[in-house]
Amino acid sequence: MHKLLEVKNLKKYFETKNGLLHAVDGVNFYINEGETLGVVGESGCGKSTLGRVVIRLLDATDGRIIFNGQDITNLKDKRAMRKEMQIIFQDPFSSLNPRMSVSQIIEEPLRIHQLCNSDTEMKSRVSELMDTVGLASRLADSYPHELDGGRRQRIGIARALALNPKFIVCDEPVSALDVSIQAQILNLMMDLQEELNFTYMFITHDLSVVKHISDEIMVMYLGVMVEKCNADELFEHTLHPYSKALLSVIPEPTIRKTKERTLLQGEITSPINPKPGCRFAARCVYAKELCSQVTPELEEIMPEHYVACHYVKEINGL
Amino acid sequence: MNDKDKPLLSVRNLTIHYITDNGVVKAVNDISFDLAKGETMGLVGETGAGKTTTALGIMNLIPNPPGKIINGEILVDGKNILEFNKYQTRKYRGNVASMIFQDPMTALNPILTVGEQIAEVSRYHNKLSKAESYVKAAEMLELVGIPSERINEYPHQFSGGMKQRVVIAIALACNPQLLLADEPTTALDVTIQAQVLALMGDLIKKYGTSMVLITHDLGVVTEICDRVAIMYAGQIVETGDLEAVYEHTKHPYTKGLFGSLPRISDKTSRLNPIDGLMPDPTNLPNGCPFHPRCPDKMPECESRVPANTEIEPGHFVRCLLYE
């Protein structure tokens, strides 16, 4: 398998009044071409920041980003790279320019990269894109405020597809949508992936969505990766105590199953000047002395299943 | 009928419209349901289905204009709250019925301490003195799991989950008989959502409060509700106890909702969403409002509004297929 994107020890710190905010703190992963990596975590865990650093919307503090064999961490001329890497934003209401019509929004990337030689070519490309994402061509001259959330998100997708990218970061693309529309958009994204061989990095807080769409899943907590493995594997053999707790509290729309839930005490702590040791120690039921002193490293506990926890073997009886 | 069987809340043929310059928004159209004492009902639907308008109606909080209750009655303990005068309404809100709003970030007053916001409710309704009301507020804070030392802090000093706990404390301060919770956990992370739902479940059990839980999440309903009502375009299309609606789903819209949900437990590779979009509430289709999106549409659906049909005891469906 060809590794399309590889990230090594990536860090992103923000300077704030109260100290250094460790939004992303030493993350390593790779994504194979044509696959989907799901990134899950609660608000404030750094998943959106990670998505933005990876496509260079934000500059990394440390670490390396290798895309298609090229190190893009400090690339000056980003134009060629942008053509290959696109993003779909979370909020279809604020990510579209209200003063541009649907066709203008989709045209903009084509114009900037001078991909069309004539206006007719541009028009036909735009209508082709609108067709691909399921927008009726009569909407070409409408403005975003005239459309509902689902249609707006389709515009965002069409805009991301316009340049035929290889890699798309999807930052909570369905969170703002109703379930019936969410399902339409998820199906669309999966169909497009099959057809055009896209590679997705799919950021979400919704575990059912991420399981549905991903090949691999990585669970983040306060800027660090705590568990990463195949999507089905994560749900069958959940190893990290945080992932376990996260999975146990998803409300499922079935009434037959009664499951054991682990209610976490407390809330996600501040990522500003974090103390050494495991970031999750304060909320972890298994935490011992070592946890608050030494930061656990990511280890391959089972084949292709990585966990960062000192006591993962004892907890799971391995 | 003895007192125990009498429903606490009985909504009869409630119709609420918003009269705007761009037409009449038919938000709630002829809905009826009962809620027994101590019972919890989930009200589920997508954006614009009329869930929040229904709750505001029950609180008698519909902004007028543009909102108008066209028809129907809302009986709480046998009294029609829509006929209350101003004074009676003030006594009713917060005391008999109270509401938890969706967004804890905007539901609290940023320039009052949380203690004051909890205390003012019992000061008004229970005529407590200032000192007494603060003692009560401290008790309420402890009850929802916040140390009472934080009583003099302001909302911005609390996290989202903590703010929602404060909102719950305010709603429960006068021990209301009826609680309307409008998407109480939607703005929260899953681990915090689980904490808040567990807390609400414990409290309503402890005080025997009846609750209407508004949500768009069919998963949340199973955590806490006894019964569920599915709303679409201002109508309740299916209602029954959890088992009836989740295991013997009848209405095509409800089936569509379940088909749209990605589930952890099974491995379907493709979702089965409902085609099309919610109808515009200013321009609802004739007949059954769901017919333009319905996979089981019959010619009759375009002209006749289906009646609420009881297909098995306690399980009601509004669909011509089952009439």
What's the gap in Å between the CA of B125 and the closest CA on chain A? 33
Q: Which pLDDT does position B6 carry in this prediction?
A: 80
In this structure, is residue B169 part of a structural domain?
no
In chain B, the residue whose alpha carbon lies closest to the alpha carbon of A150 is B277
State pLDDT tens for residues A18-77.
888 999 999 999 999 999 999 999 888 899 999 999 999 999 999 999 999 999 999 888
Residue A178 or B316, more confident: B316
Helices B160-172, B190-207: inter-axial angle, 10-degree rounding: 10
Q: Which pLDDT does position A259 carry in this prediction?
A: 64
Q: Which pLDDT does position A190 carry in this prediction?
A: 92
Average of per-residue pLDDT values in chain A: 90
Chain A interface residues (partner B, CB cutoff 8 A) = 42-43, 148-150, 178-184, 186-187, 190, 205, 207-209, 211-213, 232, 235, 245-247, 249-257, 261, 263-264, 267-268
In this structure, is residue B233 part of a structural domain?
yes
Give the pair of three-digit tokens for residue B14. Answer: 């409630």
Q: Which pLDDT does position A256 carry in this prediction?
A: 64
State pLDDT tens for residues A179-237.
888 888 899 999 999 999 999 999 998 888 998 999 999 999 999 999 999 999 999 89
In this structure, is residue B91 part of a structural domain?
no
* pLDDT tens, chain B, 323 aa long: 445 568 999 999 999 999 988 889 999 999 999 999 999 999 999 888 899 999 999 999 998 888 899 999 999 998 999 999 999 999 999 899 999 988 888 889 999 999 999 999 999 999 999 999 999 999 999 888 888 899 999 999 888 888 999 999 999 999 899 999 998 888 788 888 888 899 999 999 999 999 999 998 898 999 899 999 999 999 999 999 999 999 999 999 999 999 888 887 766 668 888 888 888 888 889 999 999 999 999 999 999 999 999 999 989 999 999 88
Tokens 């028809």 map to which residue? Answer: B71
Q: Which pLDDT does position B5 carry in this prediction?
A: 65
3-state helix/strand/coil string of chain A: CCEEEEEEEEEEEEEECCEEEEEEEEEEEEEECCCEEEEECCCCCCHHHHHHHHCCCCCCCEEEEEECCEECCCCCCCHHHHHHEEEECCCCCCCCCCCCCHHHHHHHHHHHCCCCCCHHHHHHHHHHHHHHCCCCHHHCCCCHHHCCHHHHHHHHHHHHHCCCCCEEEEECCCCCCCHHHHHHHHHHHHHHHHHHCCEEEEEECCHHHHHHHCCEEEEEECCEEEEEEEHHHHHHCCCCHHHHHHHHCCCCCCCCCCCCCCCCCCCCCCCECCCCCCCCHHHCCCCCHHHHCCCCCCEEEECCEEECCCCHHHHHCC
Determine the structural domain holding residue B53 and report its residue range. Answer: 9-37+49-85+180-187+214-318
In this structure, is residue B100 part of a structural domain?
no
Asked if A249's CB is within 8 angstroms of B190's CB, the reply is yes
Q: Which pLDDT does position B1 carry in this prediction?
A: 42
What's the gap in Å between the CA of A216 and the closest CA on chain B? 15
Rounded Cα distance, A173 and A185, in Å: 9
In this structure, is residue B261 part of a structural domain?
yes
Selected for mutation to probe chain B from A36, A151, A180 (highest B CB count within 10 Å) is A180
- Note the CATH number of domain A3-242: 3.40.50.300
Q: Write down the ipTM of this complex.
A: 0.81
In this structure, is residue B231 part of a structural domain?
yes
Residues of B in contact with A148 (CB under 8 A): 277
Q: Look up the CATH number of the domain holding residue B234.
A: 3.40.50.300
Chain B interface residues (partner A, CB cutoff 8 A) = 46-47, 159, 161-162, 189-195, 197-198, 216-223, 242-243, 246-247, 256-265, 267-268, 270-274, 277-278
In chain A, the residue whose alpha carbon lies closest to the alpha carbon of B253 is A180
Residue among B159, B189, B257 minimizing CB distance to A179? B257
Asked if B265's CB is within 8 angstroms of A252's CB, the reply is yes
Domain count, chain B: 1
| Identity of the amino acid at B194 | A
Rounded Cα distance, A274 and A276, in Å: 7
In this structure, is residue B227 part of a structural domain?
yes
Q: Which pLDDT does position B159 carry in this prediction?
A: 83
Asked if A252's CB is within 8 angstroms of B192's CB, the reply is no
In this structure, is residue B195 part of a structural domain?
no
